[in-house]
Amino acid sequence: MVKIAPSLLAADYLHLSDALEVVNSSADLFHMDIMDGVFVPNISIGFPIVEAVAGAAEKPLDVHLMIVNPQNYASRFAAIKGVGMVSFHLEACPDPGELLCSLRRANVKAGLAINPDRNVEELFPYLEHCDFILLMSVFAGFGGQKFIEGTYDRIRALKKEISKRCLNVEIEVDGGVSPLNSKALADSGADILVAGTAVFRAEHPAEVIASMR
């Protein structure tokens, strides 16, 4: 069954405990978007919030680094108790293979992320070192963007390569995901769906999560 990872980017930060309750009771992972204002034209949250959420989370945290030189900070995120997955962008890292291996050594799942304008084939040399791929279905940087339809073909191409090589790599899709496209995404081969706006801007977040499953 597809896993649901609500993105806290769209949560109400004055009432973060409400978001925590939703994820703890209804979802599978806490997706945490870290933006540095350099790799993407936006700044989001950092260590204090990730640590606070981790301290109250009953589900693993899935940390998505949208920062340049992720090798400088990834191990610090990986060391936070409760963080289960860390991904960084292929475009942002001088030696992705080395960072993926060091994340695995830190006992978290290692993920490589790419924006929609990069070919999925660019990921292929690193697949052996990945536990998951984070396929962006919008350009990284902002919540609330429109889902890019070309994502389905990208999931299928990636899935085909993973199957051909008999690898155990999950595919996570991030951006513009909602109950309108969740079934088609899962049918195309997505294993984890990230959704921010669709979940936290809804009146009944738990129902949205249930319908995405």
List, by residue number, the catalytic residues: 33, 174
CB 39, CB 68: distance < 8 Å? yes
Closer CB to ligand DX5, 42 or 161, in the complex: 42
Pairing verdict, β 192-195 and 3-6 = parallel
> Does position 7 bind ligand DX5 by CB under 6 A?
yes
Q: State CA 171 to chain mean position distance.
A: 9
Q: Is 111 helix (H, G, I), strand (E, B) or coil?
A: strand
Placement of tokens 């700044």 in the chain: 43
Closest separation between CB of residue 32 and Zn ion, Å? 8
Closest Cα to residue 31, out of 42, 45, 43?
A: 45
Question: Considering only 26-34, 40-48, 119-127, 201-209, which stretch makes contact with Zn ion by CB under 5 A?
Answer: 26-34
Among 3, 11, 28, 31, binds ligand DX5 (CB under 6 A): 31
Distance between CA atoms of residues 191 and 66, nearest Å: 21
Least separation, in Å, of the C-beta of 164 and Zn ion? 27
Q: Which of the listed partners (Zn ion, ligand DX5, none) does 75 bind, with a CB threshold of 5 to 8 Å by partner kind?
A: none
Using CB under 5 A, which of 64, 89, 154, 159 touches Zn ion?
A: 64
Nearer to ligand DX5, 22 or 194 (CB): 194
Residues 127-166 that bind ligand DX5 (CB under 6 A): 138, 140-145
Residue 42 or residue 102: which is nearer to ligand DX5 going by CB? 42
Q: Tell whether residue 177 is a contact of ligand DX5 (CB under 6 A).
A: yes
Pair type for strands 192-195 and 132-136: unpaired
Q: What is the CA radius of gyration of the chain?
A: 16
CA dihedral defined by 191, 198, 136, 151, rounded to 10 degrees?
Answer: 70
Interface with ligand DX5 (CB under 6 A)? 7, 9-10, 31, 33, 64, 138, 140-145, 174-177, 194-198
